Amino acid sequence: MDSGAFVYFLLLLLVIIAVVISAILLLRRQWAAARRKKILSREYGAIGAVTPPTAAEITPEWNANAASTPPKTFAAPPPSPPVPPASAPASPSKMPDPIVVPPDEPAKSVFISYRRQDSQHITGRIYDRLLATFGREFVFKDVDSIPLGLDFREHLREQVGHCAVLVAVIGRNWNPTTASGQQRLSDPRDHLRIEIESALDRHIPVIPVLVDGIEMPAEDELPPSLAPLAYHNGISVRPDPDFHHDADRLVRGIEQLLK
């Protein structure tokens, strides 16, 4: 017999042995189940064979004992405690105290002060950068829509009074000389002077933003009411490629003041 036939014979023998073992186990389980069923039926059959005694089988002694045993009595449960009457509803005239809601805090906004003939283009870029950080409702510039009949000085002071920070953009033509030989900031009606004066009077932080390579104006170059501006720490905002770096510094400085 070759090796292949021998292996086949061994596999066939193993299969036969497995089948025989399975059959034996199955028969054992069936035999055990039948034996258990027989035992249970025998036990429950014996229990079911017990029948109650008939009337003829009851002895007189049992009747006497039953007659002499007094019937059981059950005491009535104690009465439940009286339920207190429901409290009368509150008088409609007495209402709870109203909840006082504190007023909202004023918006922390930024006011940009600039002269169009001086720095309109760079101010527009600064405005867009602040707008992206703080939102349109918190950044203001170009106060042009002054209502008819109002004092524009009071209107400008009111607008500045709503802000938390004033950004003063200063370029080469920030304080130009007029045809009469007088500097614009020397005129008490100049809108830049009114805006910055209002912020200084209210102790609102004023950030000088120097553009076009200008240096900070000296105290003697400013009207007396604007002289404190010469000592405010400012920042230079240069054109590209340095604009974004300088604008980021400006944003961080404003964020510190708004905290």
Mean of per-residue pLDDT scores for the chain:
80
Between these two residues, 196 and 85, which has the higher pLDDT value? 196
pTM, two decimals, is 0.58
Say what percent of the chain tops pLDDT 90. 51
Kindly indicate the confidence band of residue 84, based on its pLDDT and cuts at 50, 70 and 90. low
Q: Both tokens of residue 140?
A: 């203001």
Cα–Cα distance for residue pair 222/215, rounded to 1 Å: 13
Output 38 or 92, whichever has higher pLDDT: 38
Confidence class of residue 126 from pLDDT cuts 50, 70 and 90? very high
The pLDDT value given to residue 247: 97
Segment 210-233 mean pLDDT: 95
The pLDDT value given to residue 101: 38
Write a three-state SS string for the chain.
CCHHHHHHHHHHHHHHHHHHHHHHHHHHHHHHHHHHHHHHHHHHHHHHCCCCCCHHHCCHHHHHHHHHCCCCCCCCCCCCCCCCCCCCCCCCCCCCCCCCCCCCCCCCCEEEECCHHHHHHHHHHHHHHHHHHHCHHHEECCCCCCCCCCCHHHHHHHHHHCCCEEEEEECCCCCCECCCCCEHHHCCCCHHHHHHHHHHHCCCCEEEEECCCCCCCCHHHCCHHHHHHHHCCCEECCCCCCHHHHHHHHHHHHHHHHC
User: Residue type for 176, please?
Assistant: P
Check whether 44 has a pLDDT greater than 70: no
Tens of pLDDT, residue by residue over 181-216, are 899 999 999 999 999 999 999 999 999 999 999 999
Tell whether domain 110-258 is in CATH 3.30.70.20. Answer: no
